């Protein structure tokens, strides 16, 4: 039921996420409270059936019966965990999974390039080139700090997987 509901709203949800990601100013303001507010809006109108609803219609005297009750937002998050969303995502787990990897790859590529050019190629130095390198060095130092805003791109990726899967994928997950 959740998947069918979210498939109907997926264009709207993905458009809102894309608008946040494409606007750097909005993205930098994004935090857990704002994302929770967005999720509440996305799930407005979705009725999550709780165990109590079933048990009212089918009473039982089973003393060992235990029920787990979740709010709609928590149910959506726990469902998306099957599609790659990290546990405790709302508390910051799994944010910016690719952060730092590009920088390491760039350093390796530069080291390989230096090793290849050591064979005798003369290095051309001029003041403008040195100034540009220094400026890039300052920019790299700024980029080395992991972002502090909420990484909604991880949610977006898992959400896309969830709304794209069919019955065969759901059966395999079960």
Average pLDDT of span 111-136:
57
pLDDT exceeds cutoff 80 at 79? yes
pLDDT exceeds cutoff 60 at 122? no
Banded pLDDT at 112 (limits 50, 70, 90): low
Top pLDDT among 77 and 168 is at: 77
Structure token pair of residue 162: 């969830």
What is residue 87's predicted lDDT score, i.e. its pLDDT?
92
> Whole-model pTM?
0.65
Task: Tell me the average pLDDT of the chain.
Answer: 79
- Helix count and strand count (H, E) for the chain: 9, 0
Question: For residue range 2-44, what is the model confidence (pLDDT) as tens digits?
Answer: 999 999 999 999 999 999 999 988 888 899 999 999 999 999 9
Q: Is 50 exposed, middle or buried (0-12, 13-18, 19+ CB in 10 A)?
A: middle
Residue whose C-alpha is closest to residue 42's, from 161, 164, 159, 167: 159
The domain locations on the chain are 2-97+148-173, 101-143
Maximum Cα interatomic distance, the chain, rounded to a whole number of Å: 87
The count of other CB atoms within 10 Å of the CB of residue 89 is 21
Report the distance separating Cα 15 and Cα 11, nearest Å.
6
């Amino acid at each position: 039921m959740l998947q069918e509901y979210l498939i109907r709203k997926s264009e709207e949800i993905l458009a809102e996420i894309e608008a946040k990601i494409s606007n750097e100013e909005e993205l930098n303001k994004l935090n857990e409270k704002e994302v929770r507010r967005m999720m509440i809006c996305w799930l407005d109108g979705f009725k999550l059936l709780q165990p109590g609803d079933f048990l009212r219609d089918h009473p039982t005297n089973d003393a060992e019966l235990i029920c787990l009750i979740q709010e709609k937002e928590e149910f959506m998050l726990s469902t998306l965990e099957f599609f790659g969303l990290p546990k405790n995502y709302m508390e910051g787990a799994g944010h910016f999974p690719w952060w730092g990897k590009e920088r390491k790859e760039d350093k390796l590529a530069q080291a390989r390039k230096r090793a290849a050019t050591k064979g005798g190629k003369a290095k051309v130095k001029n003041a403008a080139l040195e100034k540009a390198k220094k400026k890039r060095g300052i920019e790299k130092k700024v980029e080395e700090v992991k972002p502090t805003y909420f990484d909604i791109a991880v949610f977006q990726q898992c959400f896309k997987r969830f709304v794209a899967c069919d019955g065969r994928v759901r059966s395999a997950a079960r």
